[in-house]
Amino acid sequence: MLQELHIQNYAIIDELVIRFDGALNIITGETGAGKSILMGALSLILGERAEFNVVRNKEKKCFVEGVFHTNSKPAVMRFLEENDLDPSNDLLIRREIGINGKSRAFVNDTPVTLNQLQQLSIQLVDLHRQFDTLALGETGFQLSVIDAMASNEPTLAKYRKAFRQWQEIQKELQQLIDQRAKDNREFDYHQFLYNELNEVALKENELEDIEAELKILSDAEGIKAALANVEEQLKGNELPVVQVLKQVIHQLQPYYHHQPKFSELVDRLQAAHIELNDIAGESSRLGDQINLDAAKIEQLNERLNTGYKLLKKHNVQYTAQLLFILDDLAGKLKAVVQLDEQISQLEKEGRESLAILQEISATLSAARKKQVGPFEKQVNQLLARVGMPNARIKVLLETAMPAMQGADSIDFLFDANKSDQFSPLRKVASGGELSRLMLCIKSLVAGKMDLPTLIFDEIDSGISGEASRQVGLIMKELAAARQVICITHQPQIAGKANLHLFVYKQAVGDVINTNIRVLNQDERIKAIAQMLSGEKPTAAALENAREMVMN
């Protein structure tokens, strides 16, 4: 509830502090006294855009402060927590317009954005002007009204949970389908590259090994001749090196034990003899293995050329890199197959989730349809009470695609003149008709919806007499469980106030200020009598006003 409103340096308001009652607050005053200015100031802390031209004294800042008691309303507490604002039962909302024209907003002295302020204000205040009735034509509001009448909140909570789960599955499924479409466009190309590499069937380091082997085969004659010469020099000459070493060893052998140095020398010669003899044998064996095989050279060159083409095609240098590409392509091809399996599984989950959603939706729709008739009847009765005896409302509820509020589309249709020509009310109802219709609807659902402070700005336009009295009664009923603030020119409504605030202009020197004060009982009677019969009320008017106040 709005406990206090503090306004400074706004339009023709120098400074005002208004304290409100928790029930029905009525604001009256002459036309032009500044009642609409109060609503303009209040709009600032509700998140409306600020205009610098509302600043009265351009040399100092303008500010509007509202003190709200939240009564720990869950939606407000949730908003405060989600936006890193200290959860509190009492909120001080402040809006400033600086001398530079820039606007700032604060919640309990913490800066907030205009968007945050607007979101918070929706939970705190429902400001309803004569032409501020757009919500009546919105599907979301209309469904919420019927749901309130049907006490659908538990079912709606289950539905929303199921709807979000179904949405998440559909979103994930669509992402996979899009991925599959993309992968399918590349699948054939990846399959071609994979087949090309797989058919070549390269082994680890194969191309590098072929290059080494080809070098040997290309130089086979020279290598074979060199190895043969090694063997010849070591073992095949008239005086082969191996034989010469053997003779030298024999010559030194008799003196082996004469001196340690002799024995070392003989040992070294014997080792050299063994090594050279082995080298000669190895040269012979290698020479026997090396043959000039033209067919094999051609075969290896073809294999190498194929490998070189693949290296160039994939812009790599080594066999290992081609094998890595082969594995990567295999993984991509496998992923496409797995994607199909995932899609199939998600489609199954989607069908199961939709079945649950449809079951809850059917329960929700049935409860809504059950309330349509009683809702129409009650609203039409209330319309007659508020001076619209010929007006009728009709609810069109039809099956639609699942959405966050269910699988129903809804439209409030309106006929102002018993013509049976029903049209969407947002197209045919006047501002005054919409205002009274909104009042009737809110009075019906007030006990079932967590409505914030209700502020009605001159919604009584075009009515008088008994209709005004009924509007006052409805507001009084509304105010039994929540705060209602109403700006009115109707004495019948003013007579229902728990707190009567009077707005007036006051001259201070050459400056005109808007001011406001709380009326006591005698002042209320006089003010209402003036509303009935003019500046100098008659005795009858005073008596009539007294009856309104006392009753």
Domains and CATH numbers, the chain: 1-129+458-519 (3.40.50.300), 182-337 (no CATH)
The pLDDT value given to residue 231: 64
* DSSP secondary structure code for residue 54 in this structure: G
The pLDDT value given to residue 374: 94
> According to the 3-state scheme, what is the secondary structure of 300-342?
HHHHHHHHHHHHHHCCCCCHHHHHHHHHHHHHHHHHHHHHHHH
The amino acid sitting at 516 is I
Question: Contact, 11 vs 50, CB < 8 A?
Answer: no
The pLDDT value given to residue 289: 67
Separation of alpha carbons 281 and 65, rounded Å: 108
Which residue numbers in the chain have pLDDT < 50? 130-134
Intra-chain end-to-end CA distance of the chain, in Å: 26
Q: How many C-beta atoms surround the C-beta of residue 137 within 10 A?
A: 17
Burial category of 68 from C-beta neighbours within 10 Å (exposed 0-12, middle 13-18, buried 19 and up): buried
**Where do we find the tokens 């993984």?**
331
Separation of alpha carbons 174 and 494, rounded Å: 59
Model pTM score: 0.65
Separation of alpha carbons 231 and 37, rounded Å: 119
3-class secondary-structure state, position 413: strand
Separation of alpha carbons 56 and 484, rounded Å: 29
The pLDDT value given to residue 156: 92
Count of CA atoms in the C-beta half-sphere (13 A) of 544: 17
3-class secondary-structure state, position 63: strand
